[in-house]
Amino acid sequence: MAVGIFDSGLGGLTVLNAVQTRLPDVSFVYLGDNAHAPYGVRDADDVYALTKSAVERLWDTGCDLVILACNTASAAALRRMQEAGLPKGKRVLGVFVPLIEALTERNWGDNSPPREVSVKNVALFATPATVASRAFQRELAFRAIGVDVEAQACGGVVDAIEEGDEILAEALVRSHVEALTRKMPKPDAAILGCTHYPLMESTFQAALGGDVKVFSQANLVADSLADYLTRHPDMIGQGDENLFLTTGDPDAVSNKATQFLRRKITFTST
């Protein structure tokens, strides 16, 4: 039985790796829309259309539950898809929820009024499209008051990571951190709001300093998914093997994915 994991490119593999470690008895179908990556520079309507098409493809493989392991897709498409109505028995979840839960120390289903939380100044590092959507700030405002969020659009970082240019990626991260800290000199916490960014977590932490708590998504999403499937075991769909699908060149994507996870990954075309 399988759960779908979707990302615009390879960043969602950080989430896949964490959920496979956390849930070794669950099979996963990973779909990377590498032909159209990165999503972070696309407009909201384009991201919505591409995300909807990919999710439907995962439903067709038998995945009743699909995780959008892409912050841009979660920000621009998730609420819109849910409000438009999902087919009976199908669910789509995003990666913002576990972050918001961790930051506010309250469960998503807690509908009590917003309240003060321990973190007051939050640095958000994300793609341009995620920053423009203000989705993180909107969801946070439903649950917390008195939190100042300073967002930094990290142009170029995803492209550098996808190309395997670690030196450029590190330089861009340091530049973006410097730009944010000019606006917010002393953040209490930092959100790595893109599933590519865990690969650069040590660089973000070093640039921010040891006093800043860095929230990365992969393990938070894995724990949240484990809890969800405990409460909704019927959402584990059909299929009993792990599959890797891509809209791009399967050989090129397989090589990059193998470098990402440091284990052999073989993609096929979708």
Sign of CA dihedral 263, 20, 267, 95: negative
- The DSSP secondary-structure symbol of 227 reads H
Q: Which tokens go with 180? A: 């944010």
The b/e string for 134-152 (b: 16+ C-beta within 10 A; e otherwise) is ebbeebbeebbeebebbbb
Say how many C-beta atoms besides its own lie within 10 A of residue 201's C-beta. 17
Is 194 within 8 Å of 218 (Cβ atoms)? no
Q: Which tokens go with 45? A: 């309507």
- Report the alpha-carbon distance of residue 5 to residue 78 in Å, rounded: 14
| Strand (E) or helix (H) holding 54 | helix 44-60
Q: Which tokens go with 67? A: 């995780």
Kindly report the backbone phi and psi dihedral angles of residue 189, in degrees, each rounded to the nearest multiple of 5, phi listed first: -145, 160
The b/e string for 72-105 (b: 16+ C-beta within 10 A; e otherwise) is bbbbbbbbebeeeeeeeebbbbbbbbbbbbbbbe
Q: Which of 70, 157, 212, 225 is catalytic?
A: 70
Q: Which of 194, 222, 245, 253 is catalytic?
A: 194
Known catalytic residue at 154: no
Residues forming beta bridges with residue 150, ordered by sequence position: 123
Is 119 within 8 Å of 189 (Cβ atoms)? yes
| Strand (E) or helix (H) holding 243 | strand 243-246
- What residues are labeled active site? 70, 194
